[in-house]
Each structure stands twice: as C-alpha cells, then as structure tokens.
Amino acid sequence: MSLTQEWSGLLNEVREKSKALNSTPLLVRDFTRPYQSSGGNAKPETSDGVIRVMQWNLLAQGLCQTSDAFILCPHEALDWEFRQHHLLEELLTYQASIYCLQEVDHFDFFKANLSKLGFEGVFYPKPDSPCLYEPNNDGPDGCAVFWNTAQLQLVSQDSFVLCRTSGSETNQVAIMCRFKVALGPHKGKEFVCATTHLKAKKHHAVLRGEQGLDLEQTLREKTGGLPLVLCGDFNADPDETVVQLIKNSQLNLVSAYTLLSPSQDEPHFTTWKVRGGKKGSQEESVHTIDYLFFSRDKFQCEQLLEMPTEDQLRPNFLPSYAYPSDHLSLAADFKFID
C-alpha cells in the first residue's frame, strides 16, 4: 500500500523522535501470502478492496513498569517518553484500515495522532482495571477500535462486559463495530469487526471458557450473518476450550495465522517474555494467545504480517528497545468473496 503524504510525514516524525531518544530501530516485518493462496508467496497485484485489520495488545503503561516485572528489558525502554513513539510507529508502519487494541490506557494519545490521518475510535475500559491500583497511573485500561473514515463508515457499535454462565459480570470487555465500505469495488458492503481481551493466568481457563460462550452467543445474535472479523488477546493457548469454541462455532470462523503454516498450526508464539519470579528466579513465557479470526466463507485472506524469528527477539525478548509491547501485533488483508 502506498503512503499518503500525511501518513508518511507523521511516520517519519515519529521515527525521528524515537531515534533522538535511542538508536535502536523498531523491529519491522514483511507481509506474505497464505500457503493456501494460489499465488504462493507473491504479493497481490492490487490492493483495491482490501481491508487490513491489525490486532495488538499494546501493554498498558500502568502495568509495564511495575507489576509485570520484565527483568530483561532495560527500564528506560519502558518509559512512556520512549514507548509512545515506538507504539505509534508500529501502528503507522503497517497502514491498517482497522486497529483492534487491548491494554489501552492512553486512548487520547492514539486518538489525537490517528485522527490526523482521518481515523475515529471508540474505547471501553475494564470495570475494575488493575492499572488503577498502580502508582502514577494514567487511568483504566481497556479495549479500543480505530478505523479509517475514508475507507469505512461506522454503522453501529456495541461495547459490553463479558459475563459468566451464571449471568454475573466479569472484569473483561469486548467491542463490536458494524462497518459499511465507503469506497472501492465493494462500496456499500457491510461487515462486523469485534475485539476482546479475556482473563489472564493459566488457572482461569474455566472463566475464559465462560467468557467465550458469552462472546460467541452475543456475536451470533448481533452480527445477523454479516462477514465477521474477531480478534483479541484471548490469554489462551490454541488447544484451550475457549479457542476451540470459537474455531468450531456456527460463526464459521478460521484463525488467519494458521494459514501461514502448511500444517495449519498456529504460530509458535505471539508473546515471549521473561519475568522475575520468586527468590530472584526467572520465569520465561512463550505462548500463542493472540488471534485474528475471520469468516471463512465470506472473506479471503490475501496477506499476513509475518512473525519474527527467535533470533530477531533476542537477547531481551519482549518488550525491549526494539519492540514496545510484550505481545506481537498481528495483521491481515481481507477481501470479500463475491
């Protein structure tokens, strides 16, 4: 995709600000074709009608310098003065039509910058954000969706707290946006994009399963059969119940990143971090917990943002001076199946 003058100008400005604070450049990746595509790994000939969706857990500023204990990451790399530029640079580098974000506790910062490029956004905080219990916090974290108004028109949006099967509310949320394509060969077509951030920690698999049931039922009731993109930080490995629930749902979704593998496996990791444990120990966490699902019968996946190698993440893994979050962004290009 070619950069507009405004987009290129803002991206260059952000890069210069990062460079002035530290010489480490942002980790940059390429897009590649899915294995199932007839064109192999060649890039599509045209971007007409492409909707690019980026999924990313930003890592809340209210958590990253305190409770998250990233012992391999230089403390200065976690300062907001530095991180804000690399966060924005990551978003701008890949030129998405829609950004689906989690752990957002600086919504106004991203809104102010993305609005310069014609984006609008919505934010929905967690009912009881853990950020609020940290010193010098910047408010609650939550989910956010931004979209390019030149390309997409917001028809409606619904933000909701996820519930258990008992009906009681949890501390996790979701946002669902219904869009109408504003230009190009699919002008007038409508689709739904939803994002969520499920409960963390391994021992909460049952709770995540209940949250997934609520999310899946809500989407079935409210999407009305429209094409759907669902993404988020599910905090669940691929074999966990909640992920299998989404993959086997009547929503007929497929995980986009399984298309990068001839065996249709999920990536080896979407997060790789080392935290401080008890008595000075180190706890390494290597998991795939972030997903980008889409309607297999209504969208065709044209390209995917490649995953980095282990060598690209060493020696500090995530986060670091070269990457501002403990989660890797995912991005995919979709076209409607006519």
Partnered with residue 285 across adjacent β-strands are 273
Give me the pLDDT at residue 40, please. 43
Pair 114, 91: CB distance under 8 Å: yes
Give me the pLDDT at residue 273, please. 93
What's the chain's average pLDDT?
94
Smallest CA-to-CA distance from 237 within 265, 262, 263 is with 265
Any idea which residue has 């969208």 for tokens? Answer: 299
Is residue 173 included in any domain, yes or no?
yes
Is residue 287 included in any domain, yes or no?
yes
Residue 175 phi, psi (nearest 5)? -125, 135
Alpha helices in the chain (DSSP H): 5-21, 61-64, 80-93, 107-114, 205-222, 241-247, 310-313
In total, how many domains does the chain have? Answer: 1
Structural domain including 108 reads 3-38+48-336
For residue range 127-161, what is the model confidence (pLDDT) as tens digits? 999 999 998 899 999 999 999 999 999 999 999 99
For residue range 53-69, what is the model confidence (pLDDT) as tens digits? 999 999 999 998 776 78
For residue range 83-119, what is the model confidence (pLDDT) as tens digits? 999 999 999 999 999 999 999 999 999 999 999 999 9
For residue range 196-222, what is the model confidence (pLDDT) as tens digits? 999 999 999 999 999 999 999 999 999
Is residue 70 included in any domain, yes or no?
yes
Give me the pLDDT at residue 38, please. 40
For position 109, which CATH number holds?
A: 3.60.10.10
Is residue 43 included in any domain, yes or no?
no
CA-CA distance, 281 to 103, in Å (whole number)? Answer: 26
Residue 41's pLDDT band, with cuts at 50, 70 and 90, is very low
Give me the pLDDT at residue 43, please. 55
Smallest CA-to-CA distance from 248 within 238, 261, 259 is with 238
Is residue 268 included in any domain, yes or no?
yes
